[in-house]
Amino acid sequence: MKLFVESAAVLAPGLTGWADSRAVLAGEQEYQPAPFVAPAAELLPAVERRRTGSTVKLALAAGQQALSSAGRSADSVATVFVSSGNDGDVINDICTTLAGSDRQVSPTRFHNSVHNAPSGYWGIAAHSQHPSTSLCAFDWSFSIGLLEAATQLQVERTEVLLIAYDIPYPMPFAGIRRIEHPFGTALLMTRHCTERSIAGLAIELDQSPKPPSVMVDAMLESLRIGNPCARALPLLAALARAQSATITLQRNAGQTMSISVRGKTPGTEVQPA
Amino acid sequence: MQPLFLNRYAIASSAAIGLEATVQAIKNMRSGLAPCNFETVRLDTFAGQIAEPRLAPVRTDLAPFDCRNNRLAQLCLRQDSFEEGVIGAREKYGPARVGVFMGTSTSGILETELAYRRRDADGMLPRDFPYATTHNTFSIAWFVQSYFALAGPAMTISTACSSSAKAFGNAARMIEAGLCDAAVVGGVDSLCLTTLYGFNSLGLLSPVACRPFDGERNGISIGEGAGMVLLEKIPSPSIPNPVALLGIGESSDAYHMSSPHPEGLGARIAMEGALSNAGLKPGMVDYINLHGTGTRSNDATEGKAVCDVFGNDVPCSSTKGWTGHTLGACGAIEAIICALAIERGFMPGSANTRALDATIPVHYLLTSRSEPIEVAMTNAFGFGGTNCSLVLGRVSA
C-alpha cells in the first residue's frame, strides 16, 4: 500500500514538536531528555478543557501539531486514534471508587473512560463530522493504527490523520502495567502526492517476521521501548532524515510489517516509495 | 462497496443463546431482562445477564485470557457451527489471510475492578492477574485470534456503543485493500461495575425493563452479549443465497461527549452514508433495526433522523427490549438479528414497549410479525458522538 506523509508531530520528554525534534530524530543533534511539559489543548473550548485529563490533551495537541504543519484545518480530515489501553488516570479513579463502600462514580469520569474519549473531544473541538475510529492492539497499537490509516487511504479517503498516544499509569495501576513516560505522535497522510508531501511510504505485511527496527541512540531506544506508541520512533527518524530507508514494525501474533520510506530531498518531487 | 457475505454467524445474549433460540425469543416476545442481581451491585435497575453456568472457563491452553468477557466470547464462538466455519476459512486461505476485528467498550475491566478490592497493605494490586490478556482493550481480539490460531491483522475497535458496528468497516476496508480474504468480525461486552454505576451516575438507568420508543420510556437496561460473523468476499457454497453486508456509513456528531446531536445530524449522515455506500435509495430499505436505547433523548433524536432520511413509512424497531443495551456488542448483535430477519422472513417488534411516543412519527413495530425482508439497516451510536449504520441484504443474482 502506497501513501504520502505531509507532516509529523512528536511530543515526549525532550521532544516538544516536530520542528524542534527533527534534528534529534535525524541523529544530527544529541537527544537531551527533559521533563515532559504537558501540552495545552488549545483546540478545545475552555469548558471542555476543564473536563479532560492528560491523555486527551496529549492526543489533541499531537493531532493539532500535525495539522498545523500541513497547513490543514481540523475539520477537513478523518481521524484514526490509537493507544495501548484505557486512560489510566480515569480507570484508576473509577476502580478505586468502585472498590470502596460508596460507589458514586463521577459522570464526567465515566464518559471520559471510553477508549474513544480523545476522538469525541476532537470532534467537538474540530467541529468535524468526518468518521473517526479508535483502535487498540496493546503493545502493537501504533502499527495497527498505521495499517488502518493506510487502508482508509487505499479504499475510501484522500487524507487521514493518525494520532497515537500513551501516558504512564498512576499507582497502583502502574504496578501491573508499566508505561515509562508520555509519548504522542501524529501523521497527516494522503493518498496522492501533494506540494506539501515530505515523504512517500509503501507498507507491506511481511510473509515471515523480521527483526524490528530500533533506535541507534541508547536514550532514544529506551524512549522507544518505554511506551507502546513510541514504537513509531524508527519511522519518525526515517522521516526526519528524509532519505530512503526501510523500517520494520512489530504487529501482534509475532508478525511484522515493513515500511519503505522515500524522503524528499531539496528541489525534487517526492517519489512513491 | 463490494458486498461481503455473512457466511457464518453466532449470537449469545440474555434473551437467548444461539440463532434458533434468538428467533423464537423475538417471535414469542420473550425478553431477557430481569431485576439486576449482578455481583455485589445494588441498583434499582434491570439488566440482561447471562446465567453464570453458561459462562464456562476459556479453553485451558488459553488460560491467561480467562475472564467474564472472553468466556462470553467463547460461548458465542461455540454456537451454530461458527468454529467450523472459521477453521474452514483458515484452511482455505491460510492463517495470515484471516483478520480479526472485535468491538468492545469495557473488555475485561471486571477483573481490574475485583483486583482493586484485593489491594495489599501498601495499596498495591495483586500481581497474579493478567491485565494484558483480560482487561486490556485488545484482549478480546487477541483471544479470538489465539482461539483460532490466526495470524492476519487483528484489532479491537473501541468507540463505545458503535464499536462492533464500526468493526465491519475496518474488516471491509482490510479485505478491499487486499490484506485479508476473510474476517472474523464481532462484538462482546459483559456486565461490570463500571458501566452499571457509570450509567447510573448519568441518571440513564431505567428502574424497569427498558421500553424503547415508549412515551413513558425512562432509560436503558444494560445487557451483556456477543455477536460473531465470518465475513468473506465470496458466498459459502453450502449456504443458499447468504445475507451480505451491502453498505457502511460512519460519522461523528461533533456535539457532546454523552448526549446525541439534538437534530440527529450525525445519525442522518451515517444512515445516508450507508445507503450511498450500498448504492440504494431510502425506499429500498424494508426494515430498520434502531439503536433505540430507551433514553428520552436518544430515541427522540434517532426518530427525527430516521424521518429525515426515510419519511415515516419504513417499519422499524429496537431489539434492546430483549437483550438490553449490550454497549460495544450491540452493533454485531443487531446486524445478526437483521440477517436472521432477512433469512427467515420476519420483522422484530419491541419487547416491553407498550404505548408509543406519539411525538416520534416513525412506523414503529410493537409486535413481531412474519414478513419478507430484502434489505435491512441497523444503527449504532455511542458516547463521543460516534455513529455507524450498516445495510444488509441479499445480493440480487
With respect to residue A256, please indicate whether it lies within any of the assigned structural domains.
Answer: no
Is A123 within 8 Å of chain B by CB? Answer: yes
Q: A94 and B198: CB-CB below 8 Å?
A: yes
Does residue A172 have a cis peptide bond before it, meaning omega lies within 30 degrees of 0? yes
Is B258 within 8 Å of chain A by CB? Answer: yes
The pTM assigned to this predicted structure is: 0.98
Which pLDDT score, from 0 to 100, does residue A41 have?
77
Contact B191, B232 (CB under 8 A): no
pLDDT of A56-72, one tens digit each?
999 999 999 999 999 99
Active site residue B256: no
Joined together, the cell numbers standing for residue A241 give 532524515
Mean pLDDT of chain A: 94
Total count of residues recorded for chain B: 397
CATH number at residue B65: 3.40.47.10
With respect to residue A118, please indicate whether it lies within any of the assigned structural domains.
Answer: yes
Contact B8, B394 (CB under 8 A): no
Q: Which domain holds residue B287?
A: 4-393
Q: Say how many domains are in chain B.
A: 1
Residue (of B38, B77, B36) closest to B56 by Cα position: B77
How far is the C-alpha of A236 from the C-alpha of A258, rounded, in Å? Answer: 14
Q: Which of B67, B135, B192, B291 is catalytic?
A: B291
With respect to residue A52, please indicate whether it lies within any of the assigned structural domains.
Answer: yes
pLDDT of A88-143, one tens digit each?
999 999 999 999 999 999 999 999 999 999 999 999 999 999 999 999 999 999 99
Among the partner-chain residues A106, A131, A136, the one whose CB lies closest to the CB of B250 is A131
CA distance, residue A85 to nearest chain B CA (Å): 6
Which pLDDT score, from 0 to 100, does residue A268 have?
65
Which pLDDT score, from 0 to 100, does residue A31 have?
97
With respect to residue A173, please indicate whether it lies within any of the assigned structural domains.
Answer: yes
Residue reference for cell 407498550: B354
Which pLDDT score, from 0 to 100, does residue A273 have?
65
With respect to residue A221, please indicate whether it lies within any of the assigned structural domains.
Answer: no
With respect to residue A100, please indicate whether it lies within any of the assigned structural domains.
Answer: yes
CA distance, residue A16 to nearest chain B CA (Å): 28
Active site residue B161: yes
Active site residue B135: no
Contact B10, B329 (CB under 8 A): no
B176-207 per-residue burial string, b: 16 or more CB within 10 A, e: under 16: bbebbbbbbbbbbbbbbbbbbbbbbbbebbbe
Q: Which domain holds residue A19?
A: 2-198
Instruction: With beta carbons under 8 A apart, name residues in chain A contacting B382.
Output: 114, 116
Q: How large is the greatest C-alpha to C-alpha distance in chain B, in angstroms?
A: 68
Instruction: Name the burial class of residue B333, with classes exposed (0-12), middle (13-18) and buried (19+) by CB atoms within 10 angstroms of its CB.
Output: buried
Which pLDDT score, from 0 to 100, does residue B112 have?
97
Report which secondary-structure segment, H or E, holds B274: helix B265-278
With respect to residue A225, please indicate whether it lies within any of the assigned structural domains.
Answer: no
Q: Which of residues 19-48 of A touch B (CB under 8 A)?
A: none
Give the angle subtended at the CA of A84 by the CAs of A79 and A89, to the nearest 5°: 100
Among the partner-chain residues B155, B201, B383, the one whose CB lies closest to the CB of A120 is B383
Is A248 within 8 Å of chain B by CB? Answer: no
How far is the C-alpha of B320 from the C-alpha of B326, rounded, in Å? Answer: 8
Q: Per-block average pLDDT, block size 10, for chain B (397 residues)?
A: 97 98 97 98 97 97 98 98 98 98 98 97 92 98 98 98 98 98 98 98 98 98 98 91 96 91 95 98 98 97 98 97 98 98 98 97 97 97 96 86
Contact B247, B277 (CB under 8 A): yes
Instruction: With beta carbons under 8 A apart, name residues in chain A contacting B166.
Output: 133
How far is the C-alpha of B349 from the C-alpha of B322, rounded, in Å? Answer: 10
The neighbouring-strand residues paired with B4 are: B245
Q: A111 and B109: CB-CB below 8 Å?
A: no
CATH number at residue A178: 3.40.47.10
Among the partner-chain residues B176, B254, B382, the one whose CB lies closest to the CB of A128 is B254
Q: Which of B192, B325, B338, B388 is catalytic?
A: B325
pLDDT of A262-271, one tens digit each?
987 655 666 6
Give the angle subtended at the CA of A88 by the CAs of A87 and A91, to the nearest 5°: 85
With respect to residue A134, please indicate whether it lies within any of the assigned structural domains.
Answer: yes
Given a cut of 60, is residue A161 above it in pLDDT? yes
How far is the C-alpha of B334 from the C-alpha of B330, rounded, in Å? Answer: 6
Q: Say how many domains are in chain A.
A: 1
Q: Which of residues 39-98 of A touch B (CB under 8 A)?
A: 51, 84-86, 91, 94-96, 98
Q: How far is CA B318 from the centre of its chain?
A: 12
Inter-CA distances, A261 with A161, A192, A199, A228, Å: 18, 15, 7, 21
Q: How many other C-beta atoms are found inside a 10 Å radius of the C-beta of residue A213?
A: 21
Residue reference for cell 445507503: B275
